[in-house]
Amino acid sequence: MKNTPHGMDRRTFLNSGIFGGVLLSVSELEGTQKNKASVYEVESWLVAEGKEQEHSQAMRGWLKFVNEHRELFKEWKSVRYFVKTFAGEETDRHFVIWEYDSLAAFEDYKQRRGDYQGPYAEYKKHDPYYMGVFEHNSMRMEVWKDMDKDLWLE
């Protein structure tokens, strides 16, 4: 594992919550499996205390907006929303998992969305991140790649 500019190996770097998309090459994330590997952006958080109902409404509104404006999110192969309900640490942690064809698709989307100009200004109005319903200090972001997808049971 190569070191990052921050002096950490990649695994430590990615687990630290700091992400600089150039650190993992597209070939590393796409793999050489028969079926091309996907790249997954995983964000997780805890709901702000006393904001459970508002959070639920915000997430439903965000998912509805995304479904109604797919043209803004052409790089997203899928987006899924989960909550950890029991077992282990941090029960009630919420997760959104975006699936991309490649790291390049991930980076293309992030660059195009940028600082929420143009059509993404409306998207930002629907993004629960900006609605005060998350405990922002609990947020985590990771990037995953799938492994041995040709052997998955789907």
Tens digit of pLDDT at every position of the chain (154 positions): 444 344 444 444 444 443 333 334 444 444 443 457 899 999 999 999 999 999 999 999 999 999 999 999 999 999 999 999 987 778 899 999 999 999 999 999 999 999 999 999 999 999 999 999 999 999 999 999 999 988 999 8
Burial 138-151 (b: 16+ CB within 10 A, else e): eeeebbebbeeeee
What pLDDT is recorded for position 86? 84
Q: Is 89 helix (H, G, I), strand (E, B) or coil?
A: coil
DSSP annotation of 36 reads P
In a 3-state reduction of DSSP, which class is residue 96? strand
Which pLDDT value is given to residue 35? 56
What are the structural domains of the chain? 38-147 (3.30.70.100)
C-alpha radius of gyration, the chain, whole number: 17
End-to-end CA distance of the chain: 31
CA distance 21 to 150: 26
For residue 83, which of 75, 73, 94, 74 has the smallest C-alpha distance?
94
Residue 60 carries which side chain, given as an amino acid letter? R
Prediction pTM value: 0.75
